[in-house]
Amino acid sequence: MQDIKQRKNQVEEPSEKTKQQKGDATPTGQTKSVYTSTYPSDHPLHRFKNYLSVDLIGGPKLLQMNWIINLTKGLTPLFVVFLMYYYQNFSLGAYCYMILHGSYGILWLVKDYMFPDKSFQVKQTIFSSVVLLIVLFGYWSIGWQILSGKGINEPSNSRITACTMLYIFGVSMMLVSDAQKFYTLKYKQGLINEGIFARNRNPNYLGEMCVYGSFAFLTGVWESWIPLAFMWSTIFFMNMYLKDISLSRKQGGPEYIKNSYFFLFKVFDSDLHNIIFYAAFLIFGYIDYSVGGAITLLKNH
């Protein structure tokens, strides 16, 4: 009789592996989740990315990645004010840049406190930390362009309006997508294919591109786009590409990839309609920029 009871208990009690997959109930009734990387760990490109960002040259891992990122983001408002004082540049362009980039640094800290990105919570070697700092200083170089007098000190109302709208759209996109990703994965591991991710596989990257694009556009000089072009074509593209590989291996992943775009929104089901939509958007933007803004054109007539 005791044998039968023991066998029954063995059948009914789930294994530790099963508990981890389903999530153990906490005293508050919530569910624990085990974080898993978005990227395929067996891919050579992921191993290279991991070596460069975490294990470069080897040695002790002293600093956590998010510490360095948060430090530079948090110091951005002070850095911009310092440059304004150093170059004695208190122009309209300088103030606009300080408001945009400075507020973004503060919002980033709030975001990391409320819903942190676990992929940044890893320690890295000293050389990997140096590489990360160089990349982040590339973002600061955009501010140097405008505050040192190389950029447009007195941007037009149309430029300020366009940059502000682009910034608001971008920062909203980044915060909403990161919040959805954090709280979804907190309670359920797997494919995220609804909400803001329904038609766009990387809305967070699109948001960040819009944010930094607004900074570069405000400066009015092509040199500001150099660090962004490097970041977008290497780090951003590599992360999005690896994520696509991971998505293709998940249940429902291939169908999700078919129904969404890489980093733009698939507004319509037809690819042709989307091409026309985005082409019209670009043409309107170019014409609007050429005439000095639609509002200015209406004002003059």
- pLDDT at residue 46, as a whole number: 87
Q: Note whether 83 and 182 are same-domain residues.
A: yes
pLDDT at position 289 is: 72
Same domain flag for 101 and 160 = yes
Q: Are residues 295 and 177 in the same domain?
A: no
- Which amino acid, 58? G
Q: Are 62 and 132 in contact (CB under 8 A)?
A: no
Is residue 90 within 8 A of residue 146, CB to CB? The reply is no
Angle in degrees, 0-180, between the axes of helices 44-53 and 126-147, rounded to the nearest 10: 80
Give the per-residue pLDDT at 9. 47
Question: Does residue 27 lie within any of the structural domains?
Answer: no
Residues 199 and 110 in one domain: yes
Q: Are residues 63 and 103 in the same domain?
A: yes
Q: Would you state the pLDDT for residue 24?
A: 41
Domain count across the chain: 2
Q: What is the pLDDT along the chain (301 residues), one digit of tens a residue?
A: 444 444 444 444 444 444 444 444 444 444 443 344 566 677 888 899 999 999 999 999 999 999 999 999 999 999 999 999 999 999 999 999 999 999 999 999 999 999 999 999 999 999 999 999 999 999 999 999 999 999 999 998 889 999 999 999 999 999 999 999 999 999 988 899 999 999 999 999 999 999 999 999 999 999 999 999 999 999 999 999 999 999 999 999 999 999 999 999 999 999 999 999 999 999 988 787 776 666 666 666 6
The pLDDT, as a whole number, for residue 285 is: 81
Domain-located, residue 174: yes
Enclosing domain of residue 297? 273-301
pLDDT at 248: 92
Are 301 and 211 part of one and the same domain? no
Whether the full predicted model's pTM is greater than 0.85, yes or no, is: no
Please check whether residue 16 lies inside any domain of the structure. Answer: no
Report whether 62 contacts 140 (CB < 8 A): no
Helix (H) or strand (E) holding 61, with range, is strand 61-64
Same domain (yes/no): 251, 279: no
Q: Which residues contact 45 (CB under 8 A, 6 or more apart)?
A: 238, 241, 242
Task: Report how far residue 205's alpha carbon sits from residue 233's, in angstroms, rounded to the nearest whole number.
Answer: 12
Verify that 300 and 246 share a domain, yes or no: no
Same domain, yes or no, for 210 and 116?
yes
